[in-house]
């Protein structure tokens, strides 16, 4: 890597993601660091929500950026960097899900039902005037677990759309599936999520 | 608009991708159908909950750990590295050829070269030379070669092949039965009529 750069070159922070990636391909360490700073939060959030595992998300996010670095010369200029990055992240998350399924180290629906039941009891308590921090954490844990129990191919589309806010066209590129398939997967994922959270939703009054 | 049509528009309505006409139709349906209204409220509430999950923050030292890891990786190759070493299939093919050659060698009459020095196997008393008492040199069959003079008793080395005709002697092999690894020769064997020569007892 070459940390020395031409002083007349534009400041790293003002460069686009794609320009930064072009510099990473030339072994520019500062450009790589800037890219990591820009995207580390989104990558960790994506894999963390897909896997519902904060600890593993850190390692997996690191692996995503290592792949970016290792394959830096395979990045095609002209394609959107974030699409390429999310493709790598989605593929690694898929691999991790499948590895866990093989090892049967995964969430059970019973655990979800139990957590939802507890949350409903807490939230339905009439003496509670507002959500305490504990209740909020429980609610978030229940929602996170509900997302994690959606089947893999629907879950990835759901997280990319409804948590990361990617447009349908970009999700199609990331998952390498047609746009119509993306829409149908997201619709199905949303229906599944609604069904899983239904016991909770019926008790919670929308703000 | 009926309930099925209305529910198909839930996703598009949430994404704000409905046309003005679709939105008006949906609103008018909700006004007349409290079940679809409640279903849409649940749908949107579930997605709100998912979207409002707190962002997971990266570990503060992630960048440093990552940089120290990629610094160890070194420069990038110009192209993707080969998935397997090139020599691997070549070595595998060579190994197969050698094994096949070894297996087929006896069928083509090839034998391995004798060892230059005494090997471990050679020192083992597995097969002793057979002492063959020769009878009086009386060739009974015309054309049979005369025995070598002065050979009352001689050692005949065990040929490597039982079909080695270099020696002017025919071997009649008695049936050999093995008892717990020790060889014994069935003594009831008889000389077959018409065959000249001596019986050779071969122990293994």
- A189: CATH: 1.10.10.10
Q: Which pLDDT belongs to residue B169?
A: 54
Whether the pLDDT of residue A9 is over 50: the answer is: yes
Name the closest residue on chain A to residue B67, using Cα atoms.
Answer: A33
Number of H helices, E strands in chain B: 7, 4
Q: Which pLDDT belongs to residue A61?
A: 92
Look up the domain containing A16 and give its range: 1-106
A16 and A80 share one domain = yes
Domain boundaries, chain B: 1-79, 126-141+150-204
Task: Point out the domain boundary residue: A81, A106, A131.
Answer: A106
Q: Which pLDDT belongs to residue B167?
A: 53
Task: Note the pLDDT tens digit of each residue in B8-56.
Answer: 899 999 999 889 999 999 999 999 999 999 999 999 999 999 998 999 8
User: A23, A15 in Cβ contact below 8 A?
Assistant: yes
Nearest-Cα distance to chain A for B68, in Å, is 11
Q: What is the CATH number of the domain that holds A50?
A: 1.10.1740.10
Contact across the interface for A143 and B50, Cβ inside 8 Å: yes
**A-chain residues near B74 (CB < 8 A):** none
Nearest to A57 by CA among B49, B73, B57: B57
Task: Note the pLDDT tens digit of each residue in A28-81.
Answer: 889 999 999 999 999 999 999 999 888 888 889 999 999 999 998 888 888 899
Q: What is the mean pLDDT of residues B106-117?
A: 63
Whole-prediction pTM:
0.61
Whether the pLDDT of residue A26 is over 50: the answer is: yes
Task: Point out the domain boundary residue: A106, A135, A154.
Answer: A106
Match 């009649």 to its residue by tokens.
B172
Contact across the interface for A27 and B76, Cβ inside 8 Å: yes
Number of H helices, E strands in chain A: 9, 0
- Count of CB atoms within 10 A of residue A151's CB? 12
Nearest to A81 by CA among A29, A23, A30: A23
A134 and A188 share one domain = yes
A2 and A102 share one domain = yes
Predicted complex ipTM: 0.77
- Cα dist. A7→A12, A15, A17, A20, A149 in Å? 11, 14, 20, 16, 51
A151 and A201 share one domain = yes
**A-chain residues near B70 (CB < 8 A):** 1, 32, 65-66, 69
Averaged pLDDT score across all residues of chain B: 69
A61 and A133 share one domain = no
Whether the pLDDT of residue B140 is over 50: the answer is: no
A94 and A119 share one domain = no
Contact across the interface for A194 and B46, Cβ inside 8 Å: yes
- Cα dist. A207→B11, B38, B41, B140 in Å? 21, 15, 11, 123
A121 and A185 share one domain = yes
A97 and A9 share one domain = yes
Whether the pLDDT of residue B132 is over 60: the answer is: no
Nearest to B199 by CA among B151, B188, B160: B188
User: What is the C-alpha separation between B24 and A52, in angstroms, rounded?
Assistant: 39
Token pair in block for residue A95? 């691999």
A97 and A121 share one domain = no
Q: Which pLDDT belongs to residue B189?
A: 47
Return the top range by mean pLDDT from A193-202, B76-85, B119-128: A193-202
Task: Point out the domain boundary residue: A106, A122, A147.
Answer: A106
Using CB atoms within 10 Å of the CB of residue B108, give its burial: 0 to 12 exposed, 13 to 18 middle, 19+ buried: exposed
């Amino acid at each position: 890597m070459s940390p020395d750069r031409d002083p007349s070159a534009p400041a790293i922070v003002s460069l686009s993601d794609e320009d930064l990636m072009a510099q990473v391909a030339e072994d520019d360490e500062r450009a790589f660091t800037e890219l990591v700073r820009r995207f580390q939060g989104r990558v960790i959030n994506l894999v963390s929500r897909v896997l519902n595992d904060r600890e593993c998300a850190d390692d997996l996010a690191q692996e995503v950026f290592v792949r970016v670095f290792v394959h830096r010369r395979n990045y095609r200029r002209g394609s959107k960097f974030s699409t390429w990055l999310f493709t790598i992240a989605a593929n690694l998350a898929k691999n991790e899900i499948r590895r866990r399924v093989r090892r049967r180290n995964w969430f059970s629906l019973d655990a979800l039902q139990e957590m939802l039941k507890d949350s409903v009891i807490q939230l339905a308590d009439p003496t509670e005037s507002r959500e305490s921090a504990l209740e909020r954490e429980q609610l978030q844990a229940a929602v996170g677990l509900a997302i994690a129990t959606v089947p893999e191919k629907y879950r990835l589309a759901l997280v990319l759309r409804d948590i990361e806010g990617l447009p349908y066209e970009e999700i199609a590129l990331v998952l390498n599936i047609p746009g119509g398939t993306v829409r149908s997967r997201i619709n199905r994922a949303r229906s599944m999520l609604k069904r899983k959270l239904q016991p909770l939703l019926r008790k919670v009054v929308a703000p | 608009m009926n309930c099925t049509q209305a529910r198909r528009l839930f996703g598009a309505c949430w994404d704000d991708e409905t046309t003005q006409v679709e939105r008006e139709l949906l609103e008018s349906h909700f006004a007349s159908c409290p079940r679809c209204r409640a279903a849409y409220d649940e749908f949107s509430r579930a997605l709100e909950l998912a979207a409002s999950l707190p962002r997971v923050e990266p570990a503060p030292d992630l960048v440093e750990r990552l940089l120290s890891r990629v610094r160890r990786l070194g420069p990038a190759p110009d192209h993707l590295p080969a998935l397997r070493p090139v020599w691997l299939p070549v070595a595998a093919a060579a190994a197969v050829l050698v094994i096949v050659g070894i297996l087929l060698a006896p069928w083509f009459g090839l034998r391995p070269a004798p060892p230059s020095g005494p090997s471990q196997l050679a020192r083992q008393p597995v097969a002793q030379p057979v002492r063959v008492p020769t009878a009086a040199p009386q060739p009974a069959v015309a054309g049979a070669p005369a025995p070598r003079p002065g050979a009352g008793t001689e050692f005949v080395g065990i040929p490597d092949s039982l079909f080695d005709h270099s020696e002017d002697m025919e071997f009649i092999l008695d049936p050999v039965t093995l008892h717990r690894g020790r060889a014994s020769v069935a003594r009831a064997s008889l000389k077959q009529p018409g065959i000249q020569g001596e019986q050779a007892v071969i122990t293994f």
